[in-house]
Amino acid sequence: MMANAPVPTGLAMPVDPRRLLCCLDLTILDEDASPATMDVLCARAGTELGPVAAVCVYPEYVDRCRRNLLAAGRRTIKVATVTNFPDGGDDIDRAERETRRALAAGADEIDVVFPWRALLAGAEKVGFDLVRRCADLCHPRARLKVILETGQLVQPERIARASTIAIEAGADFIKTSTGKVAVNATAEAARVMLETIRSLGGHCGFKAAGGIRTRDGAALYLELAEQVLGPGWACPARFRIGSSSLYDDLLTALGG
């Protein structure tokens, strides 16, 4: 890994907001969200300026969102949901059951929380087995994104190890954070994850989530991804930003 490579602190040139919009997982994971909130979310997901990549909601709203998007003809927009969330427990059977139910409801993408406490305790096999079992359920019909909770892992070596375990167990994406802890996405953690992706062939995707609210903040992660993995690597199939408030900033930048 390029441990001493600098993290970008400014953008070499402005990023087209459309590049970020098409990589956005428009997210609502609020405990008090209502069915009506989900309807508004789906309506916002397809704009005249282009669709987002996915909507990300709790499992109980997967079917509603899927039906909303299909009724509106927005077939390219994926429905993502979360499992083993937000605690990242080490109950593999629970994670598998939740993932199975989410897939049955019609989820196209599963964001499962890695059992980070088990990793801190030295139980690496728990993380591998949990991801592998969820990956076996998902593939080939759905993508599996693994949330590492990097703000809790803290140390670059631990973040790199969690990234490696998740990728080798079958993750399609590795993701920074749940957005439910004190420290969420950081550029430093993202660089470690991206360099691990590169070291393992560059095929796994990357998702930054947690505290990303502005176009410039999101663009920093896109620039970092392309610095590590090459120009053009960051496309919706390999690069996502998970946010809700970012959407409004992007539309403002696009004049929408």
Catalytic residue numbers read 111, 175, 207
Instruction: Give bridge partners of residue 113 from the DSSP assignment.
Output: 147
d(CA 204, CA 194): 9
Give the residue from 91, 108, 194, 94 showing the smallest Cα distance to 150: 194
Angle of helix 92-105 relative to helix 62-71, nearest 10 degrees? Answer: 30
Q: How many CB atoms lie within 10 A of CB 85?
A: 19
Which residues contact residue 114 at a Cβ distance below 8 angstroms, ignoring those fewer than 6 apart?
A: 88, 127, 130, 131, 146, 147, 148, 149, 162, 165, 166
E strand residue ranges, 150-204: 173-175
